[in-house]
Amino acid sequence: MDFETRAIHDGQEPDPATGAVSVPIYQTSTYIQEGVGEHKGYVYSRSRNPTRVALEECLASLEGAEHGLAFSSGMGATTTIMQLVSPGQRVVCVNDVYGGTYRLFDKVLKGHGYGFEYVSVDDLNERPADVVPDGTRLVWLETPTNPLMNVVDVRAVAEAAHAAGAIVVCDATFTTPYLQRPLEQGADIVLHSTTKYLGGHSDVIGGFAATSDPELGERLRFLQNSLGAVPGPFDAWLVLRGVKTLAVRMRQHCENARRVAAFLAEHPAVELVRYPGLESHPQHAIARAQMDDFGGMISFDLAGSRDDAFAVLRSTKVWRLGESLGGVESLIEHPGLMTHASTADSPFPVPENLVRLSVGIESADDLIADLEQALAQVPAAVRASSG
Ligand SMILES: *Cc1c(COP(=O)(O)O)cnc(C)c1O
C-alpha cells in the first residue's frame, strides 16, 4: 500500500469491542488478569499500551521498519538509544546538531566518561572512513542539520561506519518518513522528535525510534521499559492523529518553503539562504539523491547585525516568534539565543545573524508579504554594503 494509506490505516484496525473507527485512548495504567499470568498481552502501561502500540505500528510501517518504539519526547528517545553505548566507547557526532542533543552529550554523558568526536558535514560526506575510525561504537547523524541545514550523505557514512563496526543513528526529524527513509539508506536506527512534523500541530511532546535489526529492536524495547521514557496514551493518540495528514501537510510545507526560499534568495537584506532545495546549496546534489523533496525548514543569514535580526523577529505578524518547528503554523526564531543557546560555548556556535524559519501551511502569499514588511527593518545602508 502507498504511504498515504498506511499513515491512515496501519496499526489502526477498528476497535474490536465497539467498532470505533478512531483508535481509543486506552487511559489505563494496568490490566486485569483472569488468573496469574493469564492476560491479553497487556500487563502494565509502561511496558505496553494499545494506543501506543497503534502509533508504534503505524510509524514503523511508514519507516519500512520491523520495530517501532514511541517515547515521551525526542530527548527521551535519544537518552534511551544512548544506553546502547557504554562509557569509554567512542561516539562520532555530526557537529551541527540539535542543541538539546549536544547538551545531553556534552553536559551529561561526557561527565560519565563517554567520548564524543564532533565532525563536520563536509568531513563526513567527503572522507567518512577517516572520521569514523575502527572501534567506533555509534555514529550520530542529523540531516538536514539543525539549524544550518547541511545535508549528510547517509549512504556514504553508513557504509564507512559499518566497515568500522559502528551503528548509525539518524535523527530524521526534519524530513519525516514522507521525504526520507534513512533505514533504506543504511542507517541502523532512525529517530524523530514527533513533537515536530509527525504530531504537526504544536500540541504534544513526543519521540520515536525505529530499527529493522532484531537485536537492536529487542534491546531498545527492553530499554524503553527499563528507562521508562514512554508517552501517555493521550499523547500517543495526538501523534497518531497528526500522522494521518502527514503527507498532505508535508506537500504544502515543501511547496511553501520553495516559494519562501526563492523570495529570500532575491532579497537584498538577506546574505545567504540555507535551503537544500536551492541549486546554490552546497549539498544540493546529495539532497536531491536521498530526499523526495526538500522539506519546510529554511535558515538564512541576515545582511546585518544581531540587533537587525532582533528587529526583524519583532516585526513579523503571521510568523510567530517561538522555538520548535514542524507545526501547521509558521514560526521564526533566532537559533543563537533560542534553540541553540546551549552550543554558544561549543567549537561550533551558530552565526549571530542567523534566522531560522519553520514554514507552515498558511498561504505562501501571506507568509512572503509578512517577511517582506519585516525585512524592511534592515537599514538600507546595510543592504547596500552586503552586495
Ligand atoms: C526538537 C528536536 C529534538 C528533541 O525533541 P523533543 O521532542 O523536543 O525532546 C531532537 N532533534 C531534532 C532535530 C529536533 O528538532
The CATH number assigned to the domain holding 44 equals 3.40.640.10
Question: Which tens digit of pLDDT belongs to each residue from 170-190?
Answer: 999 999 999 999 999 999 999
Distance between Cα 71 and ligand 1 center (Å): 12
Number of domains in the chain: 2
Q: Which atom of ligand 1 is nearest to the CA of 78?
A: 10
Distance between Cα 169 and ligand 1 center (Å): 14
- Sorted by sequence, the CB contacts under 8 Å of residue 23 that are 6+ apart come out as 11, 12, 15, 50, 51, 54, 237, 240
Residue 146 near ligand 1, beta carbon < 6 Å: yes
Residue 193 near ligand 1, beta carbon < 6 Å: yes
* 230 burial type by CB count under 10 A (0-12 exposed, 13-18 middle, 19+ buried): buried
**One domain, residues 168 and 83:** yes
**One domain, residues 265 and 233:** no
What b-and-e string marks burial along 37-75, b requiring 16 or more CB atoms within 10 Å of the CB? eeeeebeebbebbbbbbbbbbbbbbbbebebbbbbbbbb
**One domain, residues 230 and 323:** no
What residues of the chain score a pLDDT lower than 50?
387
> Domain holding 310: CATH number?
3.90.1150.10
Take atom 2 of ligand 1 and give the residue whose Cα is closest. 193
Q: Which atom of ligand 1 is nearest to the CA of 326?
A: 15
Residue 290 near ligand 1, beta carbon < 6 Å: no
46 is catalytic: yes
- Which domain-ending residue is among 224, 244, 264? 244
- Which domain-ending residue is among 244, 265, 282? 244
Residue 80 near ligand 1, beta carbon < 6 Å: no
Which pLDDT score, from 0 to 100, does residue 387 have?
46
**One domain, residues 316 and 366:** yes
**One domain, residues 255 and 234:** no
Which pLDDT score, from 0 to 100, does residue 351 have?
92
Residue 204 near ligand 1, beta carbon < 6 Å: no
CA distance 296 to 298: 7
3-class DSSP state of 209: strand
**One domain, residues 240 and 256:** no
370 is catalytic: no
**One domain, residues 319 and 378:** yes
Q: Which atom of ligand 1 is nearest to the CA of 101?
A: 10
**One domain, residues 300 and 255:** yes
Residue 195 near ligand 1, beta carbon < 6 Å: yes
**One domain, residues 58 and 171:** yes
Residue 74 near ligand 1, beta carbon < 6 Å: yes
Distance between Cα 104 and ligand 1 center (Å): 12
* Domain span at 139: 3-244
The residue assigned the cell 549528510 is: 152
CA distance 365 to 360: 12
Residue 173 near ligand 1, beta carbon < 6 Å: yes
Q: Which atom of ligand 1 is nearest to the CA of 206?
A: 7
**One domain, residues 166 and 257:** no
**One domain, residues 159 and 212:** yes
**One domain, residues 233 and 287:** no
Distance between Cα 14 and ligand 1 center (Å): 31
Which pLDDT score, from 0 to 100, does residue 346 have?
79
Residue 334 near ligand 1, beta carbon < 6 Å: no
Catalytic residue among 52, 103, 181, 196: 196
- Which domain-ending residue is among 244, 265, 290? 244
Q: How many CA atoms within 13 Å lie on the side-chain side of 352?
A: 7
Q: Which atom of ligand 1 is nearest to the CA of 173?
A: 13
